[in-house]
Structure 1
Amino acid sequence: MALKPQITPYTGPAGGWGSLKSVETALLREDRLITGNALLLRQNKPDGFSCVSCSWGKPGRPRTFEYCENGAKATAWEITRKRVRSRFFEKHTVTELRGWSDYALEAQGRLLNPMRLDHVTDRWVPVSWESAFAEIGAELKKLEPKTTVFYASGRAALETSYMWGLFARLYGHNNLPDSSNMCHESTSVALPQAIGAPVGTIMLKDFAKADCILFFGQNVGSNSPRMLHPLQAASKRGVPIITFNPLRERGLERFTSPQAPLEMLTGAETRISSQYHQVKAGGDIAAILGLCKALLAGDDAATAAGRKPWLDHAFIAEHTHGFQDFADAAREADWPALELRSGLTRPALEGVAAIYAHAQATIGIYGMGLTQHRAGLENVRMLMNLLLLRGNVGKPGAGVLPVRGHSNVQGQRTVGISEKPELVPLDMLAKQYRFEPPRETGMNTVEACEGIIAGRVQAFLGLGGNFIRAVPETVAMEEAWPRLRLTVQIATKLNRSHLFNGEVAFLLPCLGRIEVDQQASGPQLVTCEDTMTKVHASQGTVVPAGPRLRSEPAIVAGLAKATLSPNPLVPWDAWVGDYGLVRDAIAATYPEAFHDFNTRVFKGGFHRPLPARQRVWKTDTGRANFHVPTSLRTDLDTDLERHDVLQLLTIRSNDQFNTTIYGMEDRFRGVSGTRMVLFINAQDIARLGLRDGGTVALTTAVEDGVARRVGGFRIVAYDIPKGCCAAYYPECNPLIPLWHHAEGSKVPAAKSIPVNLHAAP
């Protein structure tokens, strides 16, 4: 039954009774109210399972309830009692299912049987595992390997990811795009340029030692709510938490911890952000450069007056390169231009700089609000410039923290899921398995899409995820997809990517991470790496949804054996029988990071070594590098003087994780029963001759010969900077041109899309 859309402003905090109600509603919907609550007590515990949603770190001493609202929803989503049986596909054609919403598709429940698409009847039909593997292998043998793509979702464990990457390279290509290509690839490129590490330098223990936290472009309340606990503790210690974000997100404003009975009973709230600066979409370079300019001016004044300097000159002299060029550029920056581009005032930025200057240890936190721009790399490097000015890398309580999304998206890169051969120890793999790995750079996500549209890609194998829904240029992708010769999707639930298929198509159902994975040597555990580079174990505990499900490692092994010539050094069957043997193989390939893998992971896990934490800089200069920004603009395709153009940023609701929609409610923004809303400044509504509650269509405001349009958005007046608007992902993906991506990383620039609004007649 369709829900009636309601827009009602939400006045409560993040967390609190609203969070508990939402969790219980999700468990009840999946018929897991009692068993689900019991199971959640094992979530993110040393002897339990890792959350299948975000990659936030697990504390050494976990709380009794070491899960958040969205993590609990993700668990409910996976352990649902709902099942997609054969009669479902007998009743519904693929074409009919294309008219269903994302939520409706996944709400059908867990897939149970391997399926092959029958194009004649337009239906998925059951097939045996042996037949599926044999036909897929036969198809892959006919194709040129470099015309195939092996995509990996960020949820696959380290063991599966290692096997997937090895399968691709034994087959003959490096076409291994993954979720990182769509979110934090800008981090993976920019941070090595600045500090020689592709990941953040912060550990959980640093939060207790920080005396300042700077927050950029990340919605903690919806995307990583467990972070609210260390933020709450920091706030109660009086630590300034200064946020730069276009929208006022409730999780960055106020929080009531569901873990604290007294807070729940009394309605007590903790202020999270001590200052909240609503920077324009695409205004981050200007905002951070303004902070740096003010910091340099304050340092000049302090030096002239004989006071303590605002910069860490000793650190800069010993550990950095390029300071003078950057300082000159910052001093020359024009305040009116900085204010115009950022949407913030000079006094506001100078005030933040003064607070930062007097803090001894600062954490710089950011999310896709920095990475998903045309100048995403510039954004990340600018934040590093700000941190380097005060020596805030490589000391307790200080460093940079890019907040990753999927629970193992960072770990996949660690064990070889990368299109970049220079990031993988190919010589070690060659020696270990006695083959010659491909050395050519493979396709990332954007390049894979380009290849599919152009007809250069012939096969797509997806290890989880909802690729076609997650990528830009949705209409062109859906039109091109059926021209593929082979498509294979490994999944737990039905999604839109399973409704657009190649000439030969298979849907292979797998076990979820929370389910018992029984193999020849007994129940198996898998491992993941969190956003703070800690590797830890995850043990499934729930009875599998169906007897025909196979584990991800078993499916990868089945595909590989059907495709590749036998190699006695690659024991696929033994690996499936005992995942510990896969971990031994990982340790042999990556001895520095994974030596004694099985021993250490059973002792509570371990952090990968990260030289930047010890102020060892693996950069081209041997030092941490300052970078001079080339422009104040993060998006280069828009005439910012056109007053009919707004900058659209895509957002998630607190009832979703990436493309997975758990429900039709965004409690923190007061939206219920719909996702087709456009959040827009009231002054822009009036200026454009629109009305709050009216309906508009969005078109992309670029001239490249392609018409991009999505209609049916309800206008909602909202607290967002003038000239900006926001709407949900992935509904707005059809508006993102494939070429509208970060320069240097090709991350889709989903946080600043130029759009025109068209009122419905």
Structure 2
Amino acid sequence: MSKVNKSPSYPFASGGWGSLKSVTTILAQEKVALKDSTILLKQNKPDGFMCVSCSWAKPADPHTFEFCESGAKATAWDTTAKRMTPEFFELNTVTSLLNWHDHDLEEAGRLTAPMKYDAATDRYTEVSWEEAFREIGRELGALDPESVVFYASGRASLETSYMYQLFARMYGCNNLPDSSNMCHESTSVGLKEAIGVGVGTITLEDFEKTDLMFFFGQNVGTNSPRMLHQLQDARKRGVPIITFNPLREPGLVSFANPQSPVQMLTPAETQISTQYHQVKTGGDTAAILGMCKAVIEADDRAKAQGLPRVIDVAFVDEHTTGFDEFAACARATDWSEIERVSGLTRAALLDAAGEYMRANAVMAHYGMGLTQHRLGVQNVRMLTNLLLLRGNIGKPGAGPSPVRGHSNVQGQRTVGITEKPELAPLDQLAKQFSFEPPRKKGLNTVEAFEAMVKGNVKAVVNLGGNLVRSVPDRLQTEPAWARLRLTVNVATKLNRSHLVHGEVSYVLPCLSRIEIHRTPLGDQAVSMEDSTGCMHGSRGAAEPASEKARPEPFIVAGIAKATLGERSSVDWDAWRDDYSLVRGEIATTYPDIFHDFNERMWQPGGFHRPLPARHREWKTKSGKAEFLTPHSLGEDPDMPEKVPEALRLMTLRSDSQFNTTIYKIEDRFRGVKDTRMVILMNKADIEKRRLHEGQKVTLQTIADDGIDRRLEGLKIKAYEIPEGCIGGYYPECNVLLPLWHYAKESKVPGAKSIPVRIVQ
């Protein structure tokens, strides 16, 4: 095994003392008392609460400290002692708050009371819950249901999500976009087409049986650090890990376990990646096709020589369709073209393919580096092709592993948060609740903002999240958001979406799942689904931030009751007070997944949803797993290859960030301090343009739609990134991402490959 070099920007292992220091710092920053910091000991435990950060699996036999640096930061952020009271809003107008940095808005603390915007004073003022529900219900009742959008962020529980989708459909629309539309919708579409399920097929137990792992475009050290425990264990068994990522990320290079005295007190660390290939941004299809080509040509030689076959021919013949066409494409594609588009040498791809051909059971982990592209669905299908070649789906230790971000974004889809009526059990809901659900396709996130810009969306109910900051094309979408008649925001902290408000606007403070949900019938628990398709119970441990803040089920029930009135057969008050009733209805709607839900939700390690592909049952159109022949190697059809100054911008998150939430203005892994207005550039690109490190420049989107998208004041930082590619932080760089620049089948914004130029 060759040593994978570290990044000069952070020449240390991820984890270790750097992680410990970062956790200690944020606990002090948020004024989390010592007694409150012990709440971390209940994080991701069978009888504790699920982390509000990433969605990585909760093991049946957890570590003493079953939380990572990112999870500790998220918990400190929610359990902060800082409060944003009604008195705060008396002192600060909305116009003045618009000048605050996003970090400072959330850093000011937890919201404590329901608020309504008062145009006369330009302030949010306190209202009662009864008044808020009554007026929101009246506003919604006056609107065409198809002009209203019900957005859900991934942090809402299964119970809340089920109530929310039922409310929206009883109201009269399928406009149920969620954060999955922004990231893994390419997975939901691509895997569904290829293997019949729109989620990954692996479990934690598969890590003990795998022979090889791939990583594509997923930064485990920042986005799902608890996964490093499984990777470290696999590496100790000698399992190779091959990474394809444009940037050299410390978490994918080496790891020092903060829970290991040996690794904390000695220079010991675990090398994670055994091969690290810095693929060009947008070069994933080419890189994967190169490995497939190597496998197919090796199989051709074996067949000609009468040697054992390299491809799992029995599996391909019995379980797949489309192989011959795909194989012909791979054979016909020239290596020079694969090298040009991927940015990798033939030798490097043959090395990776060689490891693949020697392994019996292979996992493929991936993230938004694969999905947030114009051809993001094709990327997912190509990775599935690679697995299918050697039967690496439907056997222990093998399968696709999309690593989700939000802690219940996958679960929301499982219980009906979807704009696609064919994915929701509408007939069952109609029978169960005595109403006729709408059958018209709803709006996903991009479509909702397209309609908003045109003036066709009049209201948004925003269940968590920070939509104004997270969506593309901010200069087009923010003014459209401000023209809405109604914006309703359910949130723990203030963010930009609350300040760029509609004509009528409410901010409703909710409890975090970390907090105890007290109702007249006793303390309630919630549940969620992790990245591996396991369902878990979650019981809050912290005291509520405010006596006036309410659990999300309380808020959804209150709005639904006020809006629907006698039209609804649901006893919303009973559901609000007893979450087990909601779980009982979920089990009735989805008996194959959630039977005996209330009893099974506390099973250590969770209970797994049925996944036919794990048993080689393919719920596809053909009844088999389907190979896809790629449309092209060039990942981005919008990339102007003939514009000599063009660069590919990929948006990034820092180590002190979760989605749009920014814990601290720094990125220690990339050596960035005191600013996020940075672009990471290859030294050759800096020299070619006669620029210098530290220089401030403006980025401009290359597009011919007549809109001038540009971002000024970006400081150049030399970094280990392929030539022709640059990196910049999300959500700051969203202003450069056109709303129409999305994956054509899934409409996931193409945030990982934006064509830009530097202008002086």
In the alignment, which residue of structure 1 is the partner of 2:680? 679
SS of match in other structure, 1:377: helix
Q: Distance in 1 between matches of 2:562 and 2:534?
A: 35
Corresponding residue for 1:521? 521
Corresponding letter in the other structure for 2:35: T
Amino acid at match of 1:753: I
Query: How big is the shift at 1:566?
Result: 2.2
Task: Specify the SS of the correspondent of 2:535.
Answer: strand
Q: Which amino acid counterpart does residue 697 of structure 1 have in structure 2?
A: T
Q: Contact 1:36–1:76 (CA<8 Å) still a contact in 2?
A: no
| Residues matched between the structures, number | 753
Distance 1:445 1:717 in 2: 35
Other-structure match for 1:698:
699
Aligned partners of 2:466 and 2:660 also within 8 Å: yes
Q: What SS does the corresponding residue of 1:74 show, helix, strand or coil?
A: helix
How much has 1:171 moved relative to structure 2?
Answer: 0.2
Give the secondary-structure state (helix, strand or coil) at the position aligned to 1:364: strand
Q: Give the SS at the match of 1:716.
A: strand
Report how far residue 664 of structure 1 moved. 1.2
Deviation per CA, 1:327-376: give whole Å up to 9, x if none: 01110011111110000011111121111011000001110011000000
Q: Deviation of residue 208 (structure 1)?
A: 1.0
Tell me the secondary structure at the aligned position of residue 53 of structure 2: coil
Residue 670 to residue 535, structure 1, CA distance change in 2 (3 Å) = same
Decide whether the 8 Å contact of 1:209 with 1:397 is kept in 2.
Answer: yes
Superposed, 1:283-432 pairs within 5 Å as: 283-432=283-432
Q: Give 1:568 deviation, angstroms.
A: 6.7
CA distance in 1, matches of 2:303, 2:33: 63
Partners of 1:414 and 1:685 lie apart in 2 by 47
| C-alpha displacement of 1:567 | 5.2
1:452 is matched with 452
SS in 1 for 2:113: coil
CA contact (8 A) 2:47 2:602 kept: no
In 1, Cα distance between equivalents of 2:569 and 2:176: 22
Task: Find runs of 4+ consecutive structure 1 residues off by over 3 angstroms.
Answer: none
Q: Secondary structure at the match of 1:732?
A: helix
* Corresponding residue of 1:636: 637
User: Is residue 760 of structure 2 the alignment partner of residue 744 of structure 1?
Assistant: no
How well do the aligned residues superpose, as a CA RMSD in angstroms? Answer: 1.0
C-alpha separation between the residues in 2 aligned to 1:610 and 1:703? 44
What does 1:39-188 align with in structure 2 at a 5 Å threshold?
A: 39-188=39-188
In structure 2, the residue matched to 1:234 is 234
Conserved 8 A contact 1:298-1:354:
no
1:23-54 alpha-carbon deviations (Å, 9 max, x no partner): 01011111115134311111000010000010
Q: Distance in 1 between matches of 2:170 and 2:367?
A: 35
The separation in 2 between residues aligned to 1:634 and 1:299, in whole angstroms, is 27
Deviation by residue 1:571-594 (Cα, 9 ceiling, x = unmatched)? 111111110000001001111111
Moved more, 75-84 or 567-576: 567-576
Check whether the contact 2:10–2:250 (CA below 8 A) recurs between aligned residues.
Answer: no
Give 1:88 shift. Answer: 1.2
2:735 corresponds in structure 1 to 734
- How far is 1:267 from its partner? 2.5
Cα distance in 1 for residues equivalent to 2:8 and 2:464: 36
Q: C-alpha displacement at 1:234, in angstroms?
A: 1.2
Alpha-carbon contact 2:170-2:568 (below 8 Å) kept: no
**TM-fit CA distance, 1:303:** 2.3
CA displacement 1:310-343 (0-9 Å, x = unmatched): 1100100110011101101110011111110000
CA distance in 2, matches of 1:454, 1:641: 33
| Conservation of the 8 A alpha-carbon contact between 1:53 and 1:74 | yes
C-alpha distance in 2 between matches for 1:347 and 1:576:
60
* Aligned residue in 2 for 1:3: none
| TM-score, L = length of structure 1 | 0.98
Kindly provide the CA deviation profile for residues 635-676 of structure 1, in whole angstroms up to 9, marking residues without a partner as x.
Answer: 111222322010000010000000010111211111111111
Name the amino acid aligned to 1:754.
Answer: P
AA partner of residue 287 (structure 1): A
Structure 1 SS opposite 2:679:
strand
Deviation at 1:8, TM superposition (A): 8.9
What CA distance in whole angstroms lies between the structure 2 residues aligned with 1:279 and 1:741?
21
CA contact (8 A) 1:24 1:33 kept: no
Contact 2:52 2:74 in 1 (8 A): yes
1:658 equivalent in structure 2: 659
Residue deviations 1:83-112 (CA, integer Å, cap 9, x gap): 001121111111111111110000000000
Tell whether the 8 Å contact from 1:468 to 1:496 is kept in structure 2 after alignment.
yes
Runs of at least 5 residues in structure 2 that lack an aligned partner in the other structure: 1-6
Structure 1 Cα separation of the partners of residues 639 and 288 of structure 2: 21
Q: Distance in 1 between matches of 2:465 and 2:49?
A: 20
CA-to-aligned-CA distance 1:448-474 (integer Å, 9 cap, x gap): 001111100001000000011000011
Aligned to 1:4: none
What residue is the counterpart of 1:596 in the other structure?
596
Q: Does the Cα contact within 8 Å between 1:638 and 1:702 map onto a contact in 2?
A: no
Superposed, 1:485-500 pairs within 5 Å as 485-500=485-500
> Which structure 2 residues correspond to residues 569-584 of structure 1 after superposition, within 5 A?
569-584=569-584
The alignment partner of 2:565 has SS state of coil
Give distance in 2, aligned partners of 1:386 and 1:640. 28
- Offset of 1:565 from its aligned partner? 2.7
Aligned-pair CA distance for 1:407: 0.2
TM-score (norm 2): 0.98
1:217–1:370 contact (8 Å) kept in structure 2: yes
> Does the CA-based 8 Å contact 1:653-1:728 persist in structure 2?
yes
CA contact (8 A) 2:36 2:542 kept: no
**Matched residues in 1 for 2:543 and 2:599: separation?**
27
Contact 2:364 2:401 in 1 (8 A): yes
Moved more, 373-382 or 300-309: 300-309
Unaligned segments of structure 1, at least 5 residues: 1-6
Q: Alignment partner of 1:280: what SS?
A: coil
Q: Give CA-to-partner distance per residue, 1:682-736, whole Å, 9 cap, x none.
A: 0000001110111111110111100101111110000000000001100000100
Provide the residue aligned with 1:506 in structure 2: 506
What SS is found at the alignment partner of 1:479?
helix
Matched residue, 1:563: 563
Partner of 2:3: none
AA partner of residue 210 (structure 2):
A
Conserved 8 A contact 1:310-1:358: no
Note if contact 2:536-2:603 (Cα within 8 Å) is conserved in structure 1. Answer: no
> What is the identity, as a one-letter code, of the residue corresponding to 1:497?
S
SS at match of 1:738: coil
Structure 1 residue identity aligned to 2:617: V
| Deviation of 1:758 (Å) | 2.1
Task: Work out the CA distance in 2 between the residues paired with 1:180 and 1:492.
Answer: 20
> Residue type of the partner of 1:708?
R
Matches within 5 A, 1:452-491: 452-491=452-491
Whole-Å separation in 1 of the counterparts to 2:317 and 2:603: 40
1:536 aligned onto 2:532: no
Query: 1:136 and 1:565 mapped to 2: Cα distance?
Result: 13
CA distance in 1, matches of 2:277, 2:566: 59
Paired residues of 2:68 and 2:226 also in contact (CA < 8 A)? yes
Q: Distance in 2 between matches of 1:741 and 1:552?
A: 31
One-letter identity of the residue aligned with 2:518 = Q
Contact map agreement 2:46 2:602 (CA 8 A) in 1? no
What CA deviation, in whole Å up to 9, does each residue of 1:229-285 have, x standing for no partner?
A: 111111121111000000000000010000111110113111000000000000001
Correspondences of 1:266-285 after superposition (within 5 Å): 266-285=266-285
Deviations 1:605-626 (A, max 9, x none): 3101110000000000100000
Distance 1:465 1:621 in 2: 38
DSSP 3-state at the match of 2:67: coil
> 1:295, 1:697 → 2: CA distance?
44
